[in-house]
Chains A and B, each alone.
Chain A
């Protein structure tokens, strides 16, 4: 069984994958899983034909891209101790794992790249056991940005510490335009996505702490995400810089014997746009 499983996802980026995939496949002690997320470029066929040593997971009937779902499906097919999520536009050094292997701590850590390149933020290495512990990426998170940060925050909450990989282990990141980035998302505004997804994280973490679990049930996540999305949207339509979100907290029968009271609890979160965001918004409104 290989020690490493590279998981990469593709939705309209076959031109990138053609360059990055050979480098993934050149790594020793490693399997490579390509998730074709209903990619219009015929990625699955191309990979099966040109690189039969790669494993293909093909997802059909998914007109919109959900990065979390794509990564989770790739991870479900992986068998290595370490899951290595690399975006299709990341060109890694041929000896990446050789250089990394010696520095990996056996337990209790995940790794991100020590680099400010935004293209590298979503790439990480995590032990499969830790990935399973926190139930993977959150599929309720929609459109661009934040699913990586949210996943890392959940790992760190379960005492899986953050480690860094040298950014120089990546030789290049293939750029792409803003339009290309949001091509398969419902929400076309990158800024809008960052705002909604950041607001969702605040609400979700308050709930995670109350439930005391590694991850919330998917149904609850979806309804909370929808509430946050609608609340942020309504505030923006009304040109308000404050969003109020009220979420009921779960009953806690184990440690809250409801003797004497029937308790209803809510957390009310007031979000205010930061100064820099307010300025940005003014510029965009003009």
Chain B
């Protein structure tokens, strides 16, 4: 069994994958898994023909790109002790695995801290498969672009794992592309729609997880919350850039403290004010 499994996903990015895949396959003691998420470029077929050393997981009938589901499918199929999720637009150096190996120890996960240096690197990270499963995989409730990697890192941190920074020179090149390409297969018309909903969901979910524990919110509850936020953000009666307000009741669960005298009911109240106006980016206004 290899020590490392590189998982990469593809939805309309075969031209990127052709460049990055050879850099993945060149790593020693490593398997490579390509998730073809109903990719219009026939990625599965091309990889099987031209890169037979890579394993392919293919999903059909998915018009929208769900990167979290794609990553989870790859991570579940992987056989390595460690998983490296690397986006198809990232080309890694030949000694990527060799240089990371000393850092790959229990109790940590590895990620980039881009700080303005190419957002493409946000999503690329390395974690133990065991930890990936223990914290509940990527959150498939989140749709569209942005925030899902942050959310995963939050849960890993909450579970007590330490984030170790990966060096930028582990990356040979990041292929540039624009935001239009990022949301081509998304559900919403603008980038801001995506990030607004996902960012509000992140605020709520991280608050809840801190109170209820890393596995304290079920998938069903996540769905309800994501829908609630989507409805509030997209409320037809609301002017797009006005603040939003909503409350969430917390389940009556043990509080971690002995409670003579009282029964407690807890509720979270959120007031979110947009910091970036939707109007200028809205295609209807253009």
Number of interface residues of A (CB under 8 A): 40
Judge whether A266 and B265 touch: CB under 8 Å. Answer: no
CB distance from B267 to the nearest CB of A (A): 5
User: Which of B157, B207, B261, B273 makes the CB contact (< 8 A) with A265?
Assistant: B207
Tell me if A100 counts as interface (CB < 8 A to partner B).
no
Judge whether A209 and B260 touch: CB under 8 Å. Answer: no
Q: Is the interface of B mostly helix, strand, loop or mixed?
A: mixed
Judge whether A261 and B260 touch: CB under 8 Å. Answer: no
Q: Which residues of B contact A259 (CB under 8 A)?
A: 195, 199, 275-276
CB distance from A159 to the nearest CB of B (A): 9
User: Which of B210, B259, B270 makes the CB contact (< 8 A) with A264?
Assistant: B270
Binds B, one of A5-13, A15-23, A198-206: A198-206
Judge whether B150 and A269 touch: CB under 8 Å. Answer: no
Closest B residue, CB atoms, query A275 = B263
Judge whether A199 and B262 touch: CB under 8 Å. Answer: yes
Judge whether A157 and B263 touch: CB under 8 Å. Answer: no
Q: Which residues of A contact B217 (CB under 8 A)?
A: none
Judge whether B258 and A153 touch: CB under 8 Å. Answer: yes
A149→B259 CA distance, assembly (Å): 10
Number of interface residues of B (CB under 8 A): 39
A144→B261 CA distance, assembly (Å): 15
Tell me if B196 counts as interface (CB < 8 A to partner A).
yes
Q: If the complex has contacts A246-B269, A265-B269, are A153 and B261 also in contact, measured as CB distance less than 8 A?
A: no
Q: Which residues of A contact B154 (CB under 8 A)?
A: 255
Q: Which residues of B contact A210 (CB under 8 A)?
A: 207, 210-211
Judge whether B153 and A255 touch: CB under 8 Å. Answer: yes
Residues facing B in A237-262 (CB within 8 A) are 246, 249, 252, 255-262
Closest A residue, CB atoms, query B211 = A209
Judge whether A268 and B266 touch: CB under 8 Å. Answer: yes
Judge whether A273 and B262 touch: CB under 8 Å. Answer: yes
A255→B202 CA distance, assembly (Å): 9
Tell me if A274 counts as interface (CB < 8 A to partner B).
yes
Q: Which residues of B contact A262 (CB under 8 A)?
A: 272-275
Name the residue in A259, A260, A268 with the highest tally of chain B Cβ atoms < 10 Å from its Cβ. Answer: A260
Tell me if B264 counts as interface (CB < 8 A to partner A).
yes
User: Which of A202, A212, A260, A267 makes the CB contact (< 8 A) with B195?
Assistant: A260
CB distance from A124 to the nearest CB of B (A): 15
Judge whether B261 and A194 touch: CB under 8 Å. Answer: yes
CB distance from A19 to the nearest CB of B (A): 31
Q: If the complex has contacts A260-B195, A260-B196, are A270 and B203 also in contact, measured as CB distance less than 8 A?
A: no
| New A-B pairs, 10, CB < 8 Å, besides A150-B257, A198-B260, A255-B154 | A149-B258, A206-B266, A256-B206, A257-B150, A260-B192, A260-B275, A261-B199, A270-B266, A271-B262, A271-B263
